[in-house]
Amino acid sequence: MSDGQTDKQPAAVEFSSLEPVDSRLSKSPEIAKLHKECAKYRTALKTSNEEKEAVQRQFDDLQQEYKRVLNSKREQEILHKLQIKGCKKPELALRDIPADCNDLDEFLSLYSKDNFFLFDKPKTKHGYSFRGGRASNYTPSQQMNNYIRSALGR
């Protein structure tokens, strides 16, 4: 195999003379430019992640504040309805109302029947209340008689 045949084995190369691949690539100006750009994006990503976390914290705080305001609004509506019903201690009755109550009016009617001592008795009006002695309650003939009497001085 020594005459005209070429060996299929690669020539022995000394590894100590070869530079590492990274050091050869880093000497290229294009690669250095890409490394700088990559570093820029890494820092931008880091700051954008920090901004994202800050915005997320702010969103969570605002969401909690929104829930608190909704609960406060609901409590005020319930207190108003209790006062309309004639509740003597609306803050006390507010504690008994469940948070998942869908039909508040029906619940309050049942609650007022069960806890009648917390509610004032409804005032009954028996029709029109007549106020005597006023000109608006007189018939037209009575108004004319009243006018004539006052004009004559009687």
Per-residue model confidence (pLDDT) at position 128: 65
Per-residue model confidence (pLDDT) at position 142: 86
Task: Give residues with Cβ within 8 angstroms of 87, minimum separation 6.
Answer: 93, 112, 118, 119, 120
Sign of the Cα torsion 126, 120, 112, 114 reads: negative
Residue ranges per structural domain of the chain: 21-121
- Which residues face 87 on adjacent strands? 119
CA gap 114, 119 in Å, rounded: 10
**Residue whose entry in the numeric block shows the structure tokens 């006062």:** 83
Percent over 90 (pLDDT), the chain: 13
The DSSP code sequence of 112-137 is: HHHTGGGBPPPPP--SPPP-TT-GGG
CA gap 103, 95 in Å, rounded: 16
CA 130 to chain centre: 52
pLDDT (tens digit, 9 = 90+) per residue, 36-84? 888 888 887 777 778 888 889 999 999 999 999 999 999 999 899 888 8
**Among the listed residues 48, 57, 97, the one whose alpha carbon sits nearest the alpha carbon of residue 77:** 97
CA gap 87, 80 in Å, rounded: 10
**Among the listed residues 19, 43, 106, 49, the one whose alpha carbon sits nearest the alpha carbon of residue 98:** 106
Sign of the Cα torsion 54, 56, 58, 61 reads: negative
* pTM to 2 decimal places: 0.47
pLDDT (tens digit, 9 = 90+) per residue, 119-136? 888 777 766 665 666 667
Q: How confident is the model at residue 18 (pLDDT cuts 50, 70, 90)?
A: very low
CA gap 138, 125 in Å, rounded: 22
